[in-house]
Amino acid sequence: MPSSAASSREDQCVTPSRAGGGSAEAAAQDPADPGVLILSRFAGAASYFDDALIVNLDLPGGKFFMPLFVRLADGLELDARIEDKIRDRLRREYTPRHVPDRIVQLAEIPVTLTGKKLEVPVRKILLGTPVADAADPDALANPEVLAYFAAGKGTA
């Protein structure tokens, strides 16, 4: 069941209008409709959709780019059908501002040793900050995942 109120923290706001929450709100799936992302405060509660991370990148000229990185359940592959369902569901259940510009499937979502998602470091890396300056690899459960973002993937 989707949450009726999205939380909003300044360091994790994901929509250009600051109208949404962070990855915790965009990390569950409707078990009745596999592949459809819903905004929920019960992150990762569904059996098909494992995890997600969404960031909002401030670009020159007042523009924004908002990629959504997802880890689907074993055996699921992100395809146009799943992407369309994610976008349609977010647009219908929330607002067009919650619809990501790009959806990317990852094997893992980067987290700290305590399980906190790395929204801010990922945003900084995608905007050009070196990995070593954005996050301490010794504090991460899966520091190798940051190489994907350092290569500039997920932004175009």
Q: Has residue 86 been placed in a domain? A: yes
Q: Which helix (H) or strand (E) holds 85?
A: helix 80-93
Mapped onto helix, strand or coil, the DSSP state of residue 82 is helix
Longest dimension (CA), the chain: 42
Has residue 89 been placed in a domain? yes
Query: Which CATH number goes with the domain that contains 112?
Result: 3.30.300.30
Q: Is residue 50 part of a domain?
A: yes
Is 11 a member of any domain? Answer: no
pLDDT for 2:
37
pLDDT digits (tens, 9 = 90+) for 81-106: 888 888 887 788 778 888 899 999 99
Domain interval for residue 53: 23-150
For residue 69, tell me if it sits in a domain.
yes
Please state, in angstroms and rounded to a whole number, the distance separating the CA atoms of residues 27 and 14.
Answer: 13
Do 14 and 91 meet the contact criterion of CB atoms below 8 Å apart?
A: no
Q: Rounded distance, CA 70 to CA 50, Å? A: 8
Per the structure, the count of domains in the chain is: 1
pTM: 0.71
Provide the pLDDT for residue 86.
81
